[in-house]
Amino acid sequence: MITSLLVANRGEIACRIFRTCRALGIATVAVYSDADAGALHVREADTAVRLPGAAPADTYLRGDLVVAAALAAGADAVHPGYGFLSENAGFAAAVRDAGLVWVGPPARAIELMASKTRAKELMDAAGVPLLAPVDPAAATADDLPLLLKAAAGGGGRGMRIVRELSELPGELTAAGAEALSAFGDGEVFAEPYVERGRHVEVQVMADGHDGVWALGTRDCSLQRRHQKVIEEAPAPGLSDELRERLHEAAVAAARAVGYRGAGTVEFLVAADGRPYFLEMNTRLQVEHPVTEAVFGLDLVALQLRIAEGEPLPAAAPPEPSGHAVEARLYAEDPARDWQPQTGALLSFDVPEEPGLRLDTGYTGGDTIGVHYDPMLAKVIAHAPSRNKAVRLLARALERARIHGPVTNRELLVHSLRHPDFLAARLDTGFYDRHLAALTPAPDETSVRQAATAAAVVEAARNATLDAGGFMRFGAWRNLPSQPQLRRYRSEPDGREYEITYRPTRDGLTVGTEGVRVVSADRIRATLDIDGVTRVFHVAVRDGRAYVDSPSGAYTFTALPRFTDPAGRTEPGSLLAPMPGTVVRLADGLAAGATVEAGQPLIWLEAMKMEHRVLAPASGTLTALHAAPGLQVEVGALLAVVTESADSAEEHA
């Protein structure tokens, strides 16, 4: 029996595995990098072992250090979680060679499925439907569009869609370079790209006694950069015949490699309903909670049971019930090319309601760093029907209070309420088509009302209490006084607002049209807006005001009463949009080079994603401060482009 378990991972998944361990009476061991020394998964573990360094390659990807940590802490088993070493056959073998229990599939099964090209050959032999690969060297226009994929990894790394034959060589080079950087293997293959396909997967659970469960379907079609954002179970709108076919194919895939434990077989379902095998993930999936909710199971507990040599509890899984939807909450800005965000997470509160579940690796007061994936949490809703689950999840996200870096919370709410999503018209191009509509600029009137609430609460924070306990906003006079002024900049769009207010014998009056102050204290303002009373919650931290209101959440930076003309950025400056590492420059890029507006010049890698820095205008590169391998902070000057006279005239 397992008595002490080391989780070879971090963040949310480590915390989630620890939760099951506590319920089963198993001691827990965490590993952590220097960047994670104060992380939640470290705080929740019974024992923790430091992995010196911050970069994944020096810490969580060092299987030798993880095995040594397990032995030093007295653990008798290792759970890999997902990501990092979870699908590394060599690591699985090293764990077992050290005399430890490996909570995962056999190393041989991992090895067989590790290469997508080899996996497809196996699945073809097992009768699993799949897309035939395309030889890039022999590809013609008739083969387009093509999808390039890294053979050794997933998560969207090394994936490219090619729609023009002339772009194929360059995209192959770029995909191979990204795959080599991410997985240590630059092999890339091509297959037909299915337009408007659905990403549907089947959760499997297999024991060592010839038992294999197919635990329903999940739809994971809503993706950004080939990474999942919203998932649900069961996948809506599939016929019983197609579900049965997917279940049979998933079981066949598991049996073909002698699988043990939790795994996921992923399919692409074309618009005509034909399914094609994509890959098998030989680990627990990020989206496993929706399956747990629908089947009433703890998949981690089943993993531990199977690792201890026990069979599955029954020949067939329990009957599913209801519908579950999961949203991944990321520290990123969808409106700005999904840029990851970093910094202090000042507040993080998600409502606790029946049917809701929160899986997270963060609490308020933690810091979001630059080294790892920007996912903050997963919020899961389970209800008797899909409509009820979607409504519950959207409202929970809307009511959450998240203060600090920009997140994708508003995108998630808008996605869950989009007509296509509500009607289950799902495919992997959802965000390509709808991103602009899902990330609208905030309504000007609503932002001004929120800024007014911030000003009123700021005034209340500076007020004094009289002998009767009533708030005094300065000395009231029987003569008209000049209104007080507060200035705010809305983040991240940068719009500025001037809010005026005046103390009166009855409290505060504000200069915002249609708004009357009903009451205010140091954390809340109640405003009457055109006859409707609304409550605004305001948190003031480090020069910023975070306003949660019925119309949304807003962040403001308090500005001085008068602007400072100094410190303007030189025109044409290319600044780092986030902390990260310069991974490459455009071919031949050097000072004096001629560039075109929109041309990618510099590639930054941050939080497991690659971002391009584009030329702001056509002209000449007059300064270059970036070089491959350079680590930069947000706002660092990377280069300067001097706009040509012709380009300047076009913009005049």
Q: How far is CA 639 from CA 380, 583, 613, in A?
A: 43, 15, 10
- Cα gap 48→449, rounded to integer Å: 47
Query: What is the pLDDT, as a whole number, of residue 516?
Result: 95
User: For 222-244, how does the pLDDT look when each residue is reduced to its tens digit (9 = 90+)?
Assistant: 999 889 999 999 999 999 999 99
**Domain range list for the chain:** 4-103, 132-192, 199-438, 444-559, 573-651
User: For 558-582, how does the pLDDT look when each residue is reduced to its tens digit (9 = 90+)?
Assistant: 998 655 444 445 778 898 887 888 9
pLDDT-derived band at 153, boundaries 50, 70, 90: low
Looking at the domain 199-438, which fold is it? D-amino Acid Aminotransferase; Chain A, domain 1 (3.30.470)
DSSP 132-165: PPB-GGG--GGG-SEEEEETT--TTTT-EEE-SG
How many residues are present in the chain? 652
Helical residues (DSSP H) of 407-461, grouped into ranges: 409-416, 419-422, 430-438, 444-461
- Cα gap 642→343, rounded to integer Å: 32
Q: How far is CA 488 from CA 97, 450, 494, 536, 629, in A?
A: 61, 11, 9, 16, 38
Sheet holding 101-102, edge to edge: 47-51, 27-33, 4-7, 77-79, 101-102
How many Å from the N-terminal Cα to the C-terminal Cα in the chain? Answer: 74
Query: What is the pLDDT, as a whole number, of residue 276?
Result: 92
CATH of 573-651, one of 3.40.50.720, 3.30.360.10, 3.40.50.300, 2.40.50.100: 2.40.50.100
370: pLDDT strictly greater than 70: yes
Query: What is the pLDDT, as a whole number, of residue 157?
Result: 74
Contact 202, 265 (CB under 8 A): yes
CATH of 4-103, one of 3.30.450.40, 3.40.50.20, 3.30.1340.10, 1.10.1370.30: 3.40.50.20
Average pLDDT over residues 409-416: 98
- Give the E-state strand segments of 58-125 in sequence order: 77-79, 101-102
357: pLDDT strictly greater than 80: yes
Query: What is the pLDDT, as a whole number, of residue 567?
Result: 44
DSSP 297-339: --HHHHHHHHHTTPPPSSSSPPPP-SEEEEEEEESEEGGGTTE
Q: Is 255 left (phi over 0), alpha (psi -120 to 50) or beta?
A: alpha
- Cα gap 369→367, rounded to integer Å: 6
Residue type, 496: E
Percent pLDDT > 70 in the chain is 94
pLDDT-derived band at 504, boundaries 50, 70, 90: confident
Query: What is the pLDDT, as a whole number, of residue 564?
Result: 46
CATH of 132-192, one of 3.30.930.10, 3.30.1490.20, 1.20.1340.10, 3.40.50.2000: 3.30.1490.20
* CATH level 2 (architecture), domain 444-559: 2-Layer Sandwich (3.30)
pLDDT-derived band at 154, boundaries 50, 70, 90: low
- Give this prediction's pTM: 0.85
User: For 25-66, how does the pLDDT look when each residue is reduced to its tens digit (9 = 90+)?
Assistant: 999 999 999 999 999 999 999 999 999 999 999 999 999 999
pLDDT-derived band at 123, boundaries 50, 70, 90: confident
pLDDT-derived band at 186, boundaries 50, 70, 90: confident
